[in-house]
Structure 1
Amino acid sequence: MIKDLPDNTVHDIAIAVALESESVESKIWYVYLINLKNEPIENVMITSKGYGEKDGEQVKTSTLRHMFPAVDGKAFKLIEPIDEQTFGLNNEYWLSYYIGTNIFDKKFIFLPESIVEMNFIKLPVLNKPGVMIS
């Protein structure tokens, strides 16, 4: 029974927060979906939300939904801009997509204060500095 279910483990897919530009006054950040596979993924749906504690109070952001018909292999899609003020919260991205008739899903959570320069890498495919969860 359970052994008969397909292994729909998500591999070679990442969510990344990239530093787009920086000035004296501010930094501009975007969240991306990166498909590290050689094959496309289809019917991609991502929900995003932030939650946690700020100044001793529980805080929740709006839940946003994003849909992409397809993301090519070795490609990326811009999901949304992200405000630095939410970096102190849990930033959750729940991804689901299809490869053929198989559905895959995974929850990616950037923990509070994890989006910091100390954790930066050169993001694959994007070639920008940022933080990535795969």
Structure 2
Amino acid sequence: MKKDIEIPEVKGVFVAAVKEFNEEFQGEEWNVYLINETEKELEMVLVVSKGHDLKKKTSVMRHKMERLPAKSFAKIEYLQDDVLKLNNEFHVSYFLNSKMFDKKFHFPAGSLRQNKLKEIPLIPNKGILAK
């Protein structure tokens, strides 16, 4: 039964949006990163992302990483300006110590703004952590 299934709490794993300068296009852009602040490597990491509101929705994007080392981060995807107006959701699943962990991270519509940038774990640039 569902009540018998143990779902471990996700700790030390974050999704962050970081505003960065793109040398190739000579402009600022938002990039989303997965951060592993734990002391152990994450295995078989799957990220499913989508944006939506009452009238619009984006395509569902799927990303896979075989491993994400301890105390590291990896870029997941670039967010186009049109997508910033939507609620953006990142569903992250991974294995750690032979257990599966799962969590949904959210960036509410309009929450990615320059004036909300803060220090975030491991990444040298300022960003915004998903809820």
When the two structures are superposed, what TM-score results if normalisation uses the length of structure 1? 0.87
1:111 aligns with 2:85: no
Using the alignment, how far apart are the partners of 1:69 and 1:17 within structure 2? Answer: 22
**What do residues 89-108 of structure 1 show as CA deviations (whole Å, max 9, x unaligned)?**
00000000001221000000
Using the alignment, how far apart are the partners of 1:7 and 1:50 within structure 2? Answer: 25
Q: Which has the higher strand share?
A: 1
Using the alignment, how far apart are the partners of 1:18 and 1:3 within structure 2? Answer: 38
Q: 1:52 corresponds to which residue?
A: 53
User: What pairs with 1:36-115 in structure 2 (closer than 5 Å)?
Assistant: 36-53=37-54, 58-115=55-112
Q: Is the Cα–Cα contact under 8 Å of residues 17 and 130 in structure 2 kept in the other structure? A: no
Using the alignment, how far apart are the partners of 2:84 and 2:34 within structure 1? Answer: 18
3-state SS of paired residue (1:42)? strand
Q: What is the root-mean-square deviation of aligned Cα atoms in Å?
A: 2.1
Q: 1:32 corresponds to which residue?
A: 33
1:19 aligns with 2:19: yes
Runs of 4+ in 1 over 6 A off after TM superposition: 1-4
Moved more, 119-128 or 64-73: 119-128
Q: 2:9 corresponds to which residue?
A: 9
The share of aligned pairs that are identical, in percent, is 32
Moved more, 12-21 or 113-122: 113-122
Q: How many residues align?
A: 129
When the two structures are superposed, what TM-score results if normalisation uses the length of structure 2? 0.89
Deviation at 1:40, TM superposition (A): 0.8
Deviation at 1:3, TM superposition (A): 7.9
